[in-house]
Every structure is written in C-alpha cells, then in structure tokens.
Structure 1
Amino acid sequence: MRRVTRDAMLRGVAGAALAMAAVVTAGCATVVEESQPVAVPRGELGQTTNPDLQKPEKDIDALTVVRDFVHASAAPLSNNGAARLYLTEGADKNWHPDNIMNIIDDQFNTVYAPETQTDPNQVEVVIHGQTVGTLNSDSAFIASKGSYNQSVTVQKQPDGQWRIVNPPPKMVLAYSDFTMNYVRVPVYFFAADSNTVVPDLRYVAGVPQSGLADRVVRLLLDGPSDQLRGAVRNALPEGANADGPVTATGDGALVVPLTGVSGQPPDIKRLIAAQIVLSLQTVTPNRLRLLSDGSPLVDGQSEWLPSDLPSYTGMASPSADQPGLMVVNDRIRSLGDGEPIAGPAGQGVYHVKSAAQSLDGRQLAIVEQDGNRERLRIGAFGRDALTVETSTDPLAGSTMTRPTWRPTASTDSTGEVWTVVGGVNVVRVLRTSDLGWVPQAVNAGDVVANGSITVLRLSRDGARVAMVVNGQLMVASVVRSQDAVQLRGSRILPVGSDAQAVDVDWLSQDSLVVATQSSSQPVVKVPVDGLRVDPFNSSNLTPRVSSITAAPGRPIVVADSGGLWTASDLGEVWRPQAHTFPGADPFYPG
C-alpha cells in the first residue's frame, strides 16, 4: 500500500521529534541507550493546534482510509487531529480514545470483513497485525506478543469520500510511527532503602518540543510507573505539584516552579533536585532553575546542571578494582590475570558449581556440589565460606541457580544473597546478628507459574530482577513490606524470533544482555521494557553461548564452546578474552 500519504502526514511531526532527539543526544553524554519513544498522560496531548495537518488524499478506497488512519494516529498534535480527519463528523465528536495505546508491527494489513457486504455505501474493514506491546496510561511500554484484530465500519460520505464511523476505542499505532513520534525518557526515582537512583522508562510525545520538559516533570510528579510502584520511592512528597508549566527564560534557563515542597528538610530537597535534573537531562541541555513557591528549592543554589550533582549510582556499580571472576573446573579464577583466587574457593577445596561476588568485592557466595545435591556457602573473599544451614530446610533441592547479591544499603551492610532452589523456590539469605546466615522465602508465585527458573539476576540497584524462566526472558520488580519480599509485575520480554534465552545479566540499570540458543543472534541487547531487540555481532562466536556477564562500563564477556569472548558495542567483533579457559563461567560483581 502507499506510503506517500503517511509520509506527508507525519513529516512535520516526525521532523520536529527527530530534531529534538538530536538536541538530546548532543546535550547529554551520559545517556547509555539510544533515544527512543515516550508518552505523556493522554490528557496533555493535543493541546497545541496545528493548522498544517495533511488532509486525506481524495477518492482513496476504504482499506486505504483505515490504513492511513492507523499511520496518522501516531501524530498527537491537535487532539490527534491528523487521525480525526479520517472520521465522519459524528465519529470525530464522539471519539475519546482510551488512555492505552496498542502498538502493532509495521507489517499489518487492512482487509474487508469476510461477511458479505450488502450495503455499497458501508463496509467492515479489519485491521490484522501482530501486537508489539501497549503504551499504558502511565506512559510506560509493556511488551506483548499476539494477534491484533480490530474491525471498523467505513461509510461513503455525500461527497463520495470514505470515512470511519466507529474508530477503535484504543488507539492503534504502527511500531515505526510510534518510535518516530515519541521519545523515551528515563524518569528517576530512588531505591527503596538507599539514595541510589533507579530509571523508570517512560514515553513522551516529542512535539511540541517547547512543552517536552514540562511533560516529563509532570510524569515525575505523578510518581513511578505501575511496574515500579512499591519497588522505588519518590522524594517528592504527596501533594507536591507544579505551580505552572516549565518555561524558558530570556537567559536560556528553564524554570521548574514547584509547590508543596517547601516544608521538606534540606537533604530531601537535594534529592528532589537530583530527580528533576536527572530526569530532564535527556530532553534538554539547558540550565534548570528549580523553585519552591517562587524561591530557590535548595538554599544557596538556584540553577542546576547534571554536573552539579554527586553520584547517585556509586553503590549500584562494581568498583574499578574488581576485574571480575570465573568458575573453571570447580575453582574460581580472576578474569584479570586468569590465576586462581586466594583461599579454598580458588584452591579446589570446594567443588564450585557457580558463584557471585558482592559489589564491594569483599564477599563470595558459592554454590557447591555436595553429592547429588547442591548447597550454598557464603564467606569473605579469600577466606573459608560458611555453609548455610536451616532446620526448616527451604534450601533443600537438587539444584541452585548462580547466586546474585542484593546491593547494600550502606557501606556497613553485607547485603543479601538470592538463589532459586529446584527451579521454583526463590530464596534470599540474610546476615544474622551472630554473623550467620538465614534463608527466607520470596513470594514469586506469578513468576513460577510460567515454568522453572534457571537464571535469576538482581539489578545492581535492587529494584528489579531479570530471569530466564522456561527459556523466556522475564523481569519483575522487587517489592518489600516489613519482612516480606515479593516479585511483582512480572513480564515476558522478547529476545528475538523463536529464540530461547539461556543466560542474562544487567548491562545497565535499564538494559539487559541475553545469551540465546539462536545461532544467528546468540547475544542480544534488550531494554528493561522490551521495546526492541538489538543483536550483537555474531562473528567469532561458536554456538551455543552458554553464559554471559555484564556491568556498567565493562566489556561484555560471553562463554561459548571454545572459551571466553569480549565485546563492548553491538557491531563490534568478539575478541578472545585475555585469560580464557574452555568451560569457564564468567561473572562480574553483583
């Protein structure tokens, strides 16, 4: 079908969005991921009129009317004015689409309904496609797969033009149109028990560009997405609001006028400033003038840039002096020099099946083969590791997943160790007052309903968990209430066509790298919301890839049938790791 109509219709909106993306890229070197779509509460879309909306071509057939309507739905200006031009006058007045958008694959069809068409002036047209996901009312994308089928009625008008009588109750957008008109923005909140920031990926309409910063601030004021609610905290108190829109001043600053925060203590006000500055760094390079009831939010500092902030991710990244480790033939060796580490774990005293190093490098958690079952040991790096024992025996089982450390809330804390026993029992192991370790169950019923868990990796900020469940990549948020912990909001993310996941690790706080069984795409990168799948170069790898590890600022390390390989970028050819061993299982701290 034709693309001329779609291109003319979206050119102005898309051009503005792409220009904005270029400004974003140039203005913020700290953005890890490429710029992607974004959405704002639907009530704020379409508040600016656009006199240049491209009218439908004359005398197009009913199938093309529906197809062009789908393409036009991606342009949010003028209350989705471009899409409304394809509706009858009555339908235009009565169309109040739901706050959820359906995103479908670009290769969709419009076909006449199979029923016999009896009225020559009215036809039923069905939109057939594959669902990519939905954009929820909280402006967060949720990946999903399945068939999309939506029937609409199209009538011939007195002027001979076909127009839609009953548009879909939920807007439907083609994937490329969505990514062309919406911009991904990480909106920042804090980990539940620390001042580590956690990015919450949201999607905001790219135009009008002048209101982009205001839309992001309002998302921040509304709080975290449904996916992260309960897993993160917002320094902005309940009742905080914007005392007007974010506006530009003559000297090039953006004014963010807040109200309802003046009573907060100075340390909380600084956290509020950090949330705003970090959330806006991807949409503007301008200085930010943060106000509370007309006065500077933080005494002594009226304007802010990202460089004015201390690091809020230091506790979520391995220190530079930790090169990473690997398990080789039941022993732990250094990725840095290939030598066995000091102590029994490196000298063959334990039959190490898998292991994890704490983020500060001071602790080791080891899964040890003990006859026909596996058991957990935890101890200081280079020292003896204690066996975790319990009379109630929640650790009973023949298998345990590679351990993973929950980040510490302070430099004095030792954190928690998580593992999955027997594929179904998610267990966290806590330090006791007598320096022992005690296991507690994690409520993971929604996850195990999908099958056996073979891999579980906590994010290094502690807010999320990534898993391989019955060959599927899944993510969930970690929600704590008093002494109970629950995996909530579990979602399946795509890893490629018909591919099964083998292993996963956190490349950054909002992106994953996945080893798959695919011979053509053995390693892929997936954002935490699953909007897209980007394959790494497969050169030099010999499928299948058995394990993978990653960390911010570190090269990715994978193990295939020949040994270890490293790469840092999607198009980079994999290079042999300097100290490689067949059968090695690499891991960075975390």
Structure 2
Amino acid sequence: MPDSGEIREVRASQGVDSQVRVFGVPPADKASPTDIVDGFLEAMTSDDPQLQTARKYLTEDAAKNWKPGAAVTVLSAGIDRFSVQGEKDPAGPRFKMTGKMLATVDERSAYQPDTTGGRYEEFLQLVQENKQWRIATPPKSLVLSESDFQRIYMPVNKYYFAGGTLVADPVYVRQRSDPDSRMDPTTQTVQSLLAGPSKWLGPVVSSSFPAGTELREGTKSLAYDGQNTLRVPLNKAADDVAQPQCQKMATQLMFTVKDLTASRLDRVEVLREDRSSLCSVTEAGAAGIAHRVPSPDHQYYVDADHRLVRMKLDVNSEDQQYRPEPVPGPLNPPGAAGAPAFKVGSAAVSYDEKRAAVVSEDGHALHLVSLTTAGPMPQPVLTGKGAKPNGLTTPSWDAAGDLWVADQDPQNAALYRVPAGAAAAQKIDVAGLDGGRITALKASPDGVRIALLVQKDNRKRLYIGRIERPGGGKTDQPGAVSVRELRPAAPQMADVTALSWAPRGRLLVVGRESGGVVQARYMLADGSMVAASLPGAAGLVAVAATEDERKPVVAASQDDGIVWLPPGAQWRTVAAGGKAPVYPG
C-alpha cells in the first residue's frame, strides 16, 4: 500500500470489475441531508436487484411506491449533486442531480443510446420522518454511471421470428441473482422473451407465444437437469397450443437461453401449468426450425487483376499456401486467359453461393451473374449516376434473397433494392437520413435490419435501420418496402471505416473513438458496445464475418492484402494484393 501521495476522493463508478460485489450501507442514525443523498446514490449502485438498502433512505410512502426496475438511466460518468435551497418546498433541503446522458434502458430491457447530448436532471426533496431525514421524491428510474451499468447488467439476446427466420433482439439483464427471489439471468431473460420484442424491433417480428403467456405462478428459477434439459413451466395461456406452434416456442427458448449458460443445453421442454409436458425440442431440431443462414463454403475477394476469386479457409490446416480460384460462370469463362473481360470493383455473393452481384471497377454498373452456369455477361440491373469514388457501394444480399446497394452520387444519392428473381432495381425510401448520403451498407442475415454508413457534414456515422416489408400492415404504401427508424449503431465512434454483421446479431465495426486510434470492436445492434475487440486493427480497410463462429474474421489490410483471424489466434496473410473481402451475404 502507498504511504505517501495526494488524497483523492474514490467513487463507486471509477471502474468495472465483474468479480466485485457492491453492497449498500444503510443510513446512519441522525445522518445529515447530504449524507442521506450520498448514501442513497451509492446504494443505487449495489448488486441488490430489489434495492432494499436504497429504499431505507426513502420515506415510507416513497419506498413503497418506488419502482426503479421499470427503466434505467445511464450516464457517461458519475452523478453530480448539489444542494438547492428549498425553492418550492420549505419542509426540507432539496438536491439537484445532474449528469451527461448516455442511454436509457426501457421497461422491456432494450438499450437506446441518447444522441441529443442532453443533460440528465432530477431533484430529490428531503423531509423529516420520525426525526430522521429521508428522501420523499426519489428518481423515476434507476440512475447509473456507464461503469456501474456495465458491472451490474449484461447484454443477452432473445429471439423472435420474422418470415420463418429467427431474429436476435438484444436486451440487458442483471448479472447477479436475487438472494430472495433467486431471479437469475436465465429466468430474467425468459421473462423478457415472454413479455414480447423490443419496441423498435416489434413491427417486423412476431412471437410464437400466445398473448398473456407468463411463467407458471411461483416459478422463481429455471434450472437444468442431469440430461442438459431446461424445463420451462408456463401458465394456462399456453396450455392448448398446437405442436408446431409449441415447437416454435421451444425454439425461441432454446436460442435465447443457450448463449447464457456455460453448460451444454441439449433440449428444451415446455410444460403446461399442471407441469405436464406440452412439447420439447432438441438443439438440432431447433436449428432446423430456426432457418438460419447456412455456413459458407468459401470466402470471396477481388484480386489484384480485378477478378472475383474464392477460396476455402481451413483454420486447422498445416498448409499455409491458400489457393484462390476464379469463380465459375460469366465472370471467368472457360479458356479465358490474361486480364478478365469484366473488371470487378466489389461484389456480394448470395447465401446459397449460386449468384453474385458485382459492381464494375469504375463503380458505375451493377450486374447479377450466375456462379453455377456459363454464359454471356448479363446487362446491368442498375446503372449509378455517379462514378468512382462516388459510384455504387458494395452490394449486400439478405436472407430473403433481395439485393441491396446504394448510389453515392452526391446529386442523386439513393438506396436501391433488387427483389429476389427480379431484373429491375427499386428505389427505397429511408426515413431519417436528413440529407445524409449512404456510403456503405450491409443487410443483416435475418433480413429485418440494414446497417448504413451515412456521410453528413464531412462525418461518417453508422446507423441501423428496420426493413419493413408488405404483409405486416406497417408500410406507408401497400406493397412498398421501406427502411424506418434509423438508430445510431456506434455512437462512441467518431469515425467508422468498415463494418460487417457478426454472429448473434452483433456488428463488427472498424473505426476510432474521438482522440483514439483505429480499432475493430464488436457492438450490439442496439448501439451499446461489447467489450470484445480484435487485435491489431490498424490498417484494416474492409472486414467480413459470418454467422458461423468457427469461421475466421477476414479483412483487407493496406499493407498485407487479404488477412484472416481464426478464433483464438493472430492475423495471418492469405492473399497479398487482394481487396474487398466478403462472405456470402
């Protein structure tokens, strides 16, 4: 321990340590108003989900009616508080709490970044009760600094269906179990799943659980048995569902829960209220019902001769000589030698790896070509108004088989969609661009979200938009597909240079924070940052990941060409001179 140096105040929010448990201290007898306020603010950061100690700083009525669990206000730093001499109520001291807003977590546990740069502000009114100072007006929600929030809460995914495909809906739950109710993270997450999707994702997904479905009354904790089976007892609302619907319910539970546990989950069984079995699903059965995108056979990139090539990456191979081959079809006709007839600038490959969308090297034209049959080069399905560097962006396929691309021409900037099987591109309405220009995009594998890199006022910011399709009654015009409710996906980043969707509904983003260096980090689609980052991201200009976590992250480096990062390893160079790496999607 140091025996010299300056004296510094220590706050509970100075750092994050998931191994540390924080317990509130009850108010001392005859504590001053300032001590009451400070003790209450510290007690709000405790690991007690019911905040019993924090309630001891409140009046009896306030303690009984305070419901901070309904929402969380997240501040970028600690709460600043100062006394305001009784402006409205002379009964006792009044304190003002302020701080810089970072985000909120709503009643459905969904995280929403604050983009206004506004200030949090609330007042605490103190009164005397039984000759003790107590707080009569507690804050409307739980108020935490960013570091305390990260210590107390953890991100999890719950899953809902969209067109037969499972979609990850990120939320936050408390990491610690409640010693009284034994409300562990698994049970919290299942309750959140049953309550329904987040408000932002709600218009484009559906739940297989009937309205009013809850855990059976008295269920305090969900546990696994010796056969790695999770049994979930529900109330009467789910007693009479048909087997196909029940298996979809079990599939939602399987995918929601399996990421939460370190132990293996082989089977989920849904129980009626009388605890008889309603249905069950195995891990393999759930995978079939979920209709997730297939694991890719190849990784693709554009070589130094502007040719689209592919290669298989075996992360376990001792042979480091990876052998790319030109993709079959019109791009590389049999017997062709020398420079390709069509120079590729960027490309996207469909999830079944049977088609490719290629943008010409000058960024002017978009073609759809077969990767299974030979033939002449087809006519473009879209011709951009601009040209390189303001030509068409790298295209992207979604799970529905639609193709997305944007024209970067400053005078004609627009987002386009080529419907599956169609030969003409459709201009897509994007609500909330406010004069911004899309310079890069990536449709999510589930087909309900699209990541857009938007340039405005010489700054590039990353947003997630919700893709609304006809059939749900949510579009402005019958039959129209639109992108709605853009939300910031990387608000901490001052500049984003590359992006890709990653496993479990996350984004892999290359960029830098204000005053920082370039780094590659995983982020949730709700705009909250995940701690995991990739080593040595300097020099990366493009990045690609896939839903299959066994496949390496692939990137383009300014110095080394195509590089890849196997799980738990370091970057390796696989193709010098290559650019524009993509996985199917």
Q: Which residue of 1 aligns with 2:490?
A: 494
Paired positions, count: 524
- Counterpart residue identity of residue 199, structure 1: A
What is the deviation of 1:103?
0.9
List per-residue Cα deviations over 1:99-127 (Å, max 9, x = no partner). 332111244433445x8999999544333
Q: Which residue of 2 aligns with 1:580?
A: 576
Write the distance in 2 (CA, Å) between the matches of 1:245 and 1:386: 64
SS of structure 1 residue aligned to 2:555: strand
1:297 aligns with 2:287: no
- What is the correspondence of 1:4-23 to structure 2 with a 5 Å cutoff? 15=21
What is the deviation of 1:505?
0.2
Q: 1:327 to 1:244 in 2, by over 3 A?
A: farther
- Counterpart residue identity of residue 345, structure 1: L
Write the distance in 2 (CA, Å) between the matches of 1:97 and 1:273: 31
Q: 1:535 to 1:509 in 2, by over 3 A?
A: closer
CA contact (8 A) 1:473 1:493 kept: yes
- Counterpart residue identity of residue 57, structure 2: Y
What is the deviation of 1:542?
4.7
Write the distance in 1 (CA, Å) between the matches of 2:435 and 2:503: 26
- What is the correspondence of 1:461-472 to structure 2 with a 5 Å cutoff? 461-470=446-455, 471-472=460-461
Q: 1:374 to 1:62 in 2, by over 3 A?
A: farther
Write the distance in 1 (CA, Å) between the matches of 2:239 and 2:348: 44
Write the distance in 2 (CA, Å) between the matches of 1:317 and 1:521: 32
- What is the correspondence of 1:336-485 to structure 2 with a 5 Å cutoff? 336=312, 337-346=323-332, 348-369=340-361, 374-381=364-371, 383=374, 384-389=376-381, 396-398=385-387, 399-408=391-400, 415-422=401-408, 424-432=413-421, 436-446=422-432, 448-449=433-434, 451-470=436-455, 471-482=460-471, 483-485=479-481
Q: Which residue of 2 aligns with 1:201?
A: 170
SS of structure 1 residue aligned to 2:246: helix
Q: Which residue of 2 aligns with 1:210?
A: 182
Q: 1:89 to 1:259 in 2, by over 3 A?
A: closer
- Counterpart residue identity of residue 211, structure 1: M
Task: Report % sequence identity.
Answer: 23
Q: State the TM-score, normalized to the length of structure 1.
A: 0.77
Q: 1:401 to 1:460 in 2, by over 3 A?
A: same
What is the deviation of 1:404?
0.3
- Counterpart residue identity of residue 490, structure 1: L
Gaps of 5+ in 2: 1-7, 313-322, 333-338, 472-478
Q: 1:250 to 1:280 in 2, by over 3 A?
A: closer
Q: Which has the higher helix share?
A: 1
Write the distance in 1 (CA, Å) between the matches of 2:269 and 2:34: 51
Write the distance in 1 (CA, Å) between the matches of 2:521 and 2:378: 37
Q: Which residue of 1 aligns with 2:252?
A: 275
CA contact (8 A) 2:113 2:491 kept: no
CA contact (8 A) 1:496 1:533 kept: no
More displaced stretch, 66-75 vs 373-382: 66-75
Q: Which residue of 1 aligns with 2:498?
A: 503
What is the deviation of 1:537?
5.0
Q: State the TM-score, normalized to the length of structure 2.
A: 0.77
Q: Which residue of 1 aligns with 2:295?
A: 318
Q: 1:283 to 1:60 in 2, by over 3 A?
A: farther
CA contact (8 A) 1:6 1:71 kept: no
Q: Which residue of 1 aligns with 2:545?
A: 550
Q: Which residue of 1 aligns with 2:317?
A: none
SS of structure 1 residue aligned to 2:192: helix
- Counterpart residue identity of residue 466, structure 1: A
Write the distance in 1 (CA, Å) between the matches of 2:19 and 2:45: 9
User: Alpha carbon RMSD of aligned pairs, Å?
Assistant: 3.8
Write the distance in 1 (CA, Å) between the matches of 2:36 and 2:495: 39
Gaps of 5+ in 1: 17-51, 409-414
Q: 1:340 to 1:266 in 2, by over 3 A?
A: same
Write the distance in 2 (CA, Å) between the matches of 1:176 and 1:11: 9
What is the deviation of 1:166?
2.6
CA contact (8 A) 2:167 2:446 kept: yes
- Counterpart residue identity of residue 326, structure 1: V
Q: 1:204 to 1:274 in 2, by over 3 A?
A: same
- Counterpart residue identity of residue 257, structure 2: L
What is the deviation of 1:312?
5.0
More displaced stretch, 100-109 vs 529-538: 529-538
96, 102, 105: which is aligned to 1:126?
96
List per-residue Cα deviations over 1:537-588 (Å, max 9, x = no partner). 553x554x3211111332222223212332246x864x24211216x12111
CA contact (8 A) 1:504 1:549 kept: yes
- Counterpart residue identity of residue 436, structure 2: G
1:531 aligns with 2:528: yes
SS of structure 1 residue aligned to 2:255: helix
List per-residue Cα deviations over 1:192-230 (Å, max 9, x = no partner). 222x32221122334327334443333222221112112
What is the deviation of 1:157?
4.2
SS of structure 1 residue aligned to 2:368: strand
CA contact (8 A) 2:399 2:445 kept: yes
Write the distance in 1 (CA, Å) between the matches of 2:292 and 2:356: 17
SS of structure 2 residue aligned to 1:509: helix
Write the distance in 1 (CA, Å) between the matches of 2:517 and 2:235: 51
SS of structure 1 residue aligned to 2:469: strand
Write the distance in 2 (CA, Å) between the matches of 1:233 and 1:400: 34
SS of structure 1 residue aligned to 2:468: strand
SS of structure 1 residue aligned to 2:507: strand
139, 143, 151: which is aligned to 1:180?
151
SS of structure 2 residue aligned to 1:273: helix
**Greater relative contact order (CA < 8 Å, ≥ 6 in sequence):** 1
Write the distance in 2 (CA, Å) between the matches of 1:475 and 1:386: 32
